[in-house]
């Protein structure tokens, strides 16, 4: 509904030799008003996976948001994004809070400029296509942000839904958002807000922004 209030009115015969599409997001300048949303396990689609995506974002001046469950480590993505690239880290809070804290600290050291906390999937939806296909991460791949164990390879064995149910904290509240803010100096953006009431609550706990999303209606 909000977008229906906006209209594009193209003009003609304008001098467009010198244009500026840059803007700022959370006070951080990008060349184009585009942020690439976090998308998991990209090496399933192409061998370069997240590396190709972050290089493209850097080349075009867009903000790149890396998924926690990427198939490339956040350190490798940061190196490919370059010193001038704007990158944010999408975070799931795990039941293992020490592991969660470690991910946050690594993101800070790697030059990520914001944490994007996904809050709309305490329980994954009934993804019929995944069930029919028996979706799992292929055995030649693993989740790049984890050194080993269930966090790295559990998704190969059990599939995404079982992985998330076993390892993600499914009982998050606004107090957990406050906890995340307390362990990091990075701005926190809450991803998955759909109501004005929750947007206000995000402001109340000091979030820097929200992403209006229903996780692809999943």
The pair phi, psi for residue 107, each rounded to 5°, is -60, -40
Q: Is 185 exposed, middle or buried (0-12, 13-18, 19+ CB in 10 A)?
A: exposed
Catalytic residue among 18, 140, 142, 215: 215
- The answer to whether residue 215 is catalytic is yes
Q: Rounded to whole angstroms, how far apart are CA atoms 110 and 112?
A: 6
Q: Rounded to whole angstroms, how far apart are CA atoms 153 and 162?
A: 12
Q: Is 145 exposed, middle or buried (0-12, 13-18, 19+ CB in 10 A)?
A: buried
Query: At 77, is the secondary structure helix, strand, or coil?
Result: helix
User: Is residue 201 within 8 Å of 177, Cβ to Cβ?
Assistant: no
**Pick from 211, 163, 202, 186: nearest CA to 103:** 186
Q: Rounded to whole angstroms, how far apart are CA atoms 90 and 65?
A: 6
Please give the positions annotated as active site: 215
């Amino acid at each position: 509904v909000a977008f229906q209030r906006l209209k594009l009115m193209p003009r003609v015969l304008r001098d467009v030799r010198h244009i500026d599409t840059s803007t700022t997001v959370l006070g951080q300048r990008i060349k184009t008003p585009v942020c690439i949303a976090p998308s998991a396990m990209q090496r399933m689609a192409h061998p370069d996976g997240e590396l190709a995506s972050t290089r493209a974002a850097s080349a075009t001046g867009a903000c790149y948001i890396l998924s926690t469950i990427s198939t490339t480590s956040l350190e490798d993505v940061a190196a490919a994004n370059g010193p001038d690239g704007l990158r944010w880290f999408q975070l799931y809070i795990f039941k293992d809070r020490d592991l969660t804290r470690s991910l946050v600290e690594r993101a800070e050291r790697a030059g990520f400029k914001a944490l994007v906390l996904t809050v709309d999937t305490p329980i994954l939806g009934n993804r019929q296509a995944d069930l029919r296909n028996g979706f799992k991460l292929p055995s030649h791949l693993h989740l790049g942000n984890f050194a080993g164990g269930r966090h790295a390879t559990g998704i190969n064995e059990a599939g995404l839904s079982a992985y998330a149910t076993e390892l993600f904290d499914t009982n998050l509240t606004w107090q957990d958002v406050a906890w995340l803010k307390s362990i990091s100096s990075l701005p926190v953006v809450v991803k998955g807000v759909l109501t004005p009431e929750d947007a206000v609550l995000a402001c109340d706990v000091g979030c820097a922004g929200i992403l209006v999303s229903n996780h692809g209606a999943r």
